[in-house]
Amino acid sequence: MAKARRIKSATESLLQIAVFLEFGVVFFGALALNGLGFYRPGVIAVGTLAAMVILSVVYRLLRYRVGRWVGHLVQLAFLATFFWDVVMGLSALVVVGFWIFGALRGPALDRGLGPEA
């Protein structure tokens, strides 16, 4: 017999969507960096792999409170890309905006407050 599926909170779902979008930003950012030729392809591959592993861990931990806090720290690191390149920082800012929306709106939805809240 199949196990009952776990019910996810709205916060967890919204933050997982934000992390999934970050996967896309990291992937396409890696392609852009490789195309610019500023770094060796090996350096880009290692950095991309590390970012993907970190995002995968955050994705799995979002059901727990500590996972959300780790996610907040990852978002701060993502925003730090402004110091590296402004265009990368702007790309990160978009998905961090999704994260902020999920972090603020998700708990309100979990408490049962409707869209008018």
**Is 115 within a domain?**
no
Q: pLDDT tens, 4-48? A: 887 888 999 999 999 999 999 999 989 988 898 888 999 999 999
**Is 40 within a domain?**
yes
**Is 59 within a domain?**
yes
Please report the pLDDT score of residue 67 as a whole number: 93
Q: Looking at the 3D structure of the chain, how many domains does it have?
A: 1
**Is 67 within a domain?**
yes
Over residues 51-65, the mean pLDDT reads 95
**Is 117 within a domain?**
no
**CB proximity list for 15: less than 8 A, separation 6 or greater:** 62, 68, 71, 99, 102, 103, 106
Q: Is the Cβ–Cβ distance between 62 and 12 less than 8 Å?
A: yes
- Which residue range forms the structural domain that includes residue 39? 10-110
Angle, CA of 51, 54 and 56, to the nearest 5°: 105
Provide the residue count of the chain. Answer: 117
Please report the pLDDT score of residue 16 as a whole number: 95
Report the interhelical angle of 86-110 vs 65-79 (nearest 10°).
160
Please report the pLDDT score of residue 68 as a whole number: 94
CB atoms within 10 A of CB 108: 14
Q: What is the pTM of this model?
A: 0.85
Name the more confident of 49 and 6: 49
Name the DSSP letter for residue 9.
Answer: P
**Is 116 within a domain?**
no
**H-helix segments, 37-64:** 41-61
Please report the pLDDT score of residue 88 as a whole number: 83
**Is 70 within a domain?**
yes
What integer best gives the mean pLDDT of the chain?
Answer: 90
**Is 2 within a domain?**
no
Please report the pLDDT score of residue 7 as a whole number: 81
